A = this chain, B = another copy of it.
Amino acid sequence: MKKTPLINIALSRVIASLGHGDRLVIGDAGMPVPAGVELIDLALTRGIPAFVEVLQAVLAEMQVESHVVAEEMVQRQLPPWQALEAAGSAIGQRRVVSHEALKELTREARAFVRTGEYTPYANVMLVAGVTF
């Protein structure tokens, strides 16, 4: 089996496919997924897996240049937000938009990773960077 921290098959494939500027969304369990966007459904039940757990596993493999979050998430300062704060330079520059605007942006994502997070507005769009 794979010996790195991230072992999910679909997520490993998608991250390996990302080029400069491609977008990957990590969303709570209730965020709508736009038609046509690949959905990687990791949600099992309430809180499993948590947004924070999925974020950390993704950041173990994905080079991130910047990210987009909703102002509703920033205002609430809940654990998913705290995890983004803790990620620091690993997620690059932050762009804050409205929740409705973020939903629109997800239409352009390469993939949408659905978590089991039951915290409202726990969504982030990660923009891929390169390692050279």
Residues on A lying within 8 angstroms of B by beta carbon are 1, 5-11, 29-30, 39, 41-46, 48-49, 53-54, 56-57, 60, 116
**Inter-chain contact B46/A49, CB cutoff 8 Å:** no
**Inter-chain contact B44/A29, CB cutoff 8 Å:** no
Residue of B30, B39, B46, B57 touching A44 (CB-CB under 8 A): B57
**Residue of chain B at shortest CB distance from A9:** B41
Q: Is the interface of A mostly helix, strand, loop or mixed?
A: loop
A45 to B6, CA, bound (A): 5
Q: Which 5 A-B pairs have the closest CB atoms?
A: A1-B30, A45-B57, A9-B41, A5-B45, A7-B43
**Inter-chain contact A44/B1, CB cutoff 8 Å:** no
A31 to B86, CA, bound (A): 34
**Residue of chain B at shortest CB distance from A30:** B1
A8 to B49, CA, bound (A): 11
**Inter-chain contact A48/B53, CB cutoff 8 Å:** yes
A118 to B60, CA, bound (A): 18
